[in-house]
Amino acid sequence: MVVTKHFATHGKKYRRRLIKYILNLDKTDNLKLVSDFGMSNYLDFPSHAEMVEMYNVNFTNNDKLYESRNDRQEKHQQTIHAHHIIQSFSPEDNLTPEEINRIGYETMMELTGGRFKFIVATHTDKDHVHNHILINAIDRNSDKKLIWNYALERNLRMISDRISKMTGAKIIEKRYSYRDYKKYKESSHKFELKQRLYFLLQQSKSFDDFLEKAKQLHVQIDFSQKHSRFLMTDRTMIKPIRGRQLSKRDLYDEEFFRTHFAKQEIESRLEFLLNRVNSLEDLITKAKELNLTIDLKQKNVTFILEENNQKISLGHQKISDKKLYDVKFFQDYFKNKEVVASEGLENLQEQYHAFQEERDKDKVSTEEIEEAFKTFKEK
């Protein structure tokens, strides 16, 4: 069960106190359950006080630039300086705090379109885990303010419900007219299409597998034109839906889907190899046998995956939400790793194929995808 509440935050001093409160060390597992967007983070291992100051400076800098451009200094306590959202979950949802934090982050990204800085802090001090979300009232370009109205409130609830439902949480459908909400779900092609695409991404092993299962789920995909187009052949659609209509954050084009599976394969190869090699040099050598080039710079790492006549290059920041695969990560990993026997790596391709099969054993087959999606929607 997911509930969202909105509160306007008046005054810069109160906003700073609120930042300090939501970053409470005891409630956020020593800041492990904190994520953010659009921040200039200059700290490596911040203390609580440093973290509060860093976020406050980010918000304040936006304010100053906005005020200078608009040639005015707004009077103390007479304007909204941030928007505080509480997103609460029921213990019955059986979601981890990390999953709940990610739901809050994705909800805000879709709601704001990546135009506003925000912080998501997940508190675990009560029976119901909940997110405290703070959105700066000024956009990242310091040009416009976020206007909170009924339409935005309704969008927040609907986006929160959809993303939460996809991860297994229960939603309260009656809170803004069940009849209207049900009608929206049944008639909205975009809502239905996004559900299908999300489910396909979760249940597909590769880009080609995704395309094959999409056909089985009656989703016709066209990447041949400037904008990707989607048509659900089992629904009465007048015209296809363009990928850019589905999200302000992602284009849903061919690159988006190929990158999704490339990230999955790169991280999978790293997980497979890290347990089997004893040094960074061995990792780089063995990765090449699995068509993965690891290019180390001074601090950053670029991963180049070559598969099915496709070459995709990704920086370490884009690979995982849980681990930062930069140079320091690998140096620390091998410094603390116990040496393992390096025998049995002759048939590396064969072993990795078995690893992939184990990884994907719970994904449904193409023949089962349609029935599995019906079950998914009924949850």
| Residue located via tokens 């034109």 | 225
> Over the chain (379 residues), what is each successive 10-residue block's mean pLDDT?
88 93 94 91 78 91 78 53 94 89 95 94 90 94 86 91 86 53 63 92 96 97 94 92 85 94 96 92 95 94 92 92 88 88 76 94 95 86
Structure tokens at 249: 């954050």
Are 229 and 221 in contact, with CB atoms under 8 Å apart? yes
Q: In what helix (H) or strand (E) does residue 230 lie, and over which residues does it extend?
A: strand 229-232
Q: Which amino acid belongs to residue 297?
A: K
Question: Which residue(s) pair with 10 in the sheet?
Answer: 80
DSSP letter (8 states) at residue 239? S
The Cβ of residue 85 has, within 10 Å, a number of other Cβ atoms equal to 23
Spell out where 233-275 has E strands.
241-242
| Rounded-to-integer distance, Cα 241 and Cα 219, Å | 11
Contact 325, 301 (CB under 8 A): yes
Q: Where in the chain is the domain with CATH 3.30.930.30?
A: 2-172
Phi, psi (rounded to 5 degrees) for 294 = -110, 110
Pick from 290, 287, 292: which is nearest to 303 by CA?
Answer: 292
Please give the pLDDT value at position 65. Answer: 82
Amino acid 73: pLDDT: 47
Is-contact 22 121, C-beta < 8 A? yes
First to last CA, the chain: 12
Question: Which of helix, strand or coil describes residue 33?
Answer: coil
Which phi and psi (to 5°) does residue 169 adopt? -80, 150
CB 200 within 8 A of CB 214: yes
| C-alpha–C-alpha distance, residues 104 and 84, integer Å | 12
Instruction: Determine whether domain 2-172 maps to CATH 2.40.30.30.
Output: no
- Please provide the size of the chain in residues: 379
Q: Do 113 and 251 meet the contact criterion of CB atoms below 8 Å apart? A: no
Q: For residues 285 and 76, give the distance between their C-alpha atoms in angstroms, rounded to a whole number.
A: 61
CA 81 – CA 14 distance, rounded (Å) = 9
* Cα 342 from Cα 286, distance rounded (Å): 11
Q: Kindly give the residue spans of alpha helices, DSSP state H, lying in 290-368.
A: 327-336, 348-359
- pLDDT of 47: 86
Please report the pLDDT score of residue 271 as a whole number: 94
Q: Which residue has the tokens 């909800």?
A: 107
75 DSSP 8-state letter: P
- CB atoms under 10 Å from CB of 63, counted, come to 20
Residue 245 has what pLDDT?
A: 87
Backbone φ/ψ region at 149: left (φ over 0), alpha (ψ -120 to 50), beta: beta
Supply the pLDDT for residue 303: 97
